[in-house]
Amino acid sequence: MSAALRIAVAGLGTVGSGTLQLLQEHADLIAARCGRMIQVAAVSARDRQKKRSVDVSAIRWFDDPVAMAGEADIDVVIELIGGSDGIAKQVIERAIAAGHSVITANKALLATHGVALARSAEAAGVTLGYEAAVAGGVPVIKSLREGLAANSVSRIYGILNGTCNYILSTMRDSGREFADVLAEAQELGYAEADPAFDVDGVDTAHKLAILTALAFGCEVNLAGVHVEGIRDVSALDIAYANELGYRIKLLGIASRSNGGVEQRVYPCMVPASRPIANVEGVFNAVVAEGDFVGTIVSEGQGAGARPTASAVVADLIDIARGTSLPTFAVPATDLAPLPSLPIEDHVGCHYVRLMVVDRPGVIADIAGALRDAEISVEALLQRGRAPGEAVAVVITTHETRGLAMDSALRRIESLDSVLEPPRRIRIEPL
| CA distances from residue 231 to 195, 272, 402 in whole angstroms, order as listed | 11, 22, 21
- CATH C-level class of 143-301: alpha beta
> Quick one: which of 218, 369, 191, 393 has its CA closest to 281?
191
Q: Over the stretch 234-247, which tens digit does the pLDDT of each residue have?
A: 999 999 999 999 99
Options 89, 107, 142, 207, the catalytic residue = 207
| CA distances from residue 399 to 70, 272, 349, 427 in whole angstroms, order as listed | 55, 19, 4, 9
Burial class for 84, CB neighbours closer than 10 Å (0-12, 13-18, 19+)? middle
Pairing of strands 390-397, 347-357: antiparallel
Burial class for 167, CB neighbours closer than 10 Å (0-12, 13-18, 19+)? buried
Conformation bin of residue 46: beta by default, left when phi > 0, alpha when psi is -120 to 50? alpha
Indicate the pLDDT class of residue 25, thresholds 50, 70 and 90: very high
CATH code for the domain defined by 2-133? 3.40.50.720
Q: Over the stretch 74-132, which tens digit does the pLDDT of each residue have?
A: 999 999 999 998 999 999 999 999 999 999 999 999 999 999 999 999 999 999 999 99
Alpha carbon 70 to chain centroid, angstroms: 31
**DSSP assigned state of 26:** T
Give the separation between CA 245 and CA 366, rounded to whole angstroms: 24
* 207: annotated active-site residue: yes
- Say what the pTM is: 0.95
Q: Over the stretch 286-310, which tens digit does the pLDDT of each residue have?
A: 999 999 999 999 999 988 899 999 9
Average pLDDT for 367-396:
91
CATH superfamily to which 344-427 belongs: ACT domain (3.30.70.260)
Give the separation between CA 248 and CA 426, rounded to whole angstroms: 10
| CA distances from residue 329 to 213, 326, 366 in whole angstroms, order as listed | 9, 5, 49
Give the separation between CA 122 and CA 101, rounded to whole angstroms: 10
| Residue spans per domain, the chain | 2-133, 143-301, 344-427
